[in-house]
Structure 1
Amino acid sequence: MSNNEVPKVFYRGKNEEFMVVIQSPEDYRRYKKDPSIPLIDVVDSFKVFVTRAGTQGIIDEASRAMLENEFGTKNSDQAIQKILKDGAFQEQKYTYKTEYDSTNDSMGARVPH
């Protein structure tokens, strides 16, 4: 997996969509078969995120109140286990542009007079 691929597991809740970043798709598949695998071997961080405006939108860390409302616990480990168990894997590739294009070549050079 290259540096611009971010493997994630999404879980659609009652009012929000939650997300956990995982280390690799292979680790996640192993965990799905054997949930006794320690979370530290599966997740990239012990944070639960909430997405705004869909999976391509804004991502914030879920508050303890959000976890309590959705998962019945403020414990992020328990929420992560539920997300991994019932969520859906998604891998997104991000590309970063390293060169900048001109946005308006017809304007010519802009210099003060």
Structure 2
Amino acid sequence: MARGEAKQTRIYFKGKENEFVVFVDNPEAVEKWKADQTTPLVQVVKAFEIFVTHKHGNQGQLLVASNALLDEEFGTNDQEEIIRVILGNGLLQEKWDAERQGSRNDSIGPRGGH
């Protein structure tokens, strides 16, 4: 059984000092939100977490952004307000995670050949 093959949709935002990423449900939800910003954010984002790549571009290692970093970059650490800025000004990116095939139990427990 294949695992991991899934589409990731995220918004990439390049700030003054760092790059930020927010994961969203799908591109249609983002477009709907941009057309009508009264749409609740919970219907758009996967989680109310903002990630930072520490100047390593949109493919860099993602770490949860600290409140101090958010405050320095956006002038606030209100995550909902910052997510609105990122959704409104960021770049939509879609990426497929690679399918993974893993061995389940190579030794087959006590039945395996030794």
- TM-score when scaled to structure 1? 0.81
Q: What are the superposed Cα offsets for residues 9-63 of structure 1, whole Å, 9 maximum, x if unpaired?
A: 0110011100100011110010111111110110000000012422112000000
Structure 2: which 5+ runs fail to align?
Answer: 104-114
Partner of 2:61: 58
Judging changes above 3 Å, is the alpha-carbon distance between structure 1 residues 42 and 25 closer, same or farther for their aligned structure 2 residues?
A: same
Structure 1: which 5+ runs fail to align?
Answer: 101-113
Q: Secondary structure at the match of 2:46?
A: coil
Q: Name the structure, 1 or 2, with higher relative contact order (CA <8 Å, separation 6+).
A: 2
Q: Secondary structure at the match of 1:58?
A: coil
Greater shift in the superposed pair: 39-48 or 52-61: 52-61
Percent of residue pairs identical: 34
Amino acid at match of 2:79: S
What is the aligned length?
99
Partner of 1:6: 8
Q: Secondary structure at the match of 1:10?
A: strand
- TM-score when scaled to structure 2? 0.80
Between the aligned partners of 2:53 and 2:34, the Cα distance in structure 1 is 23
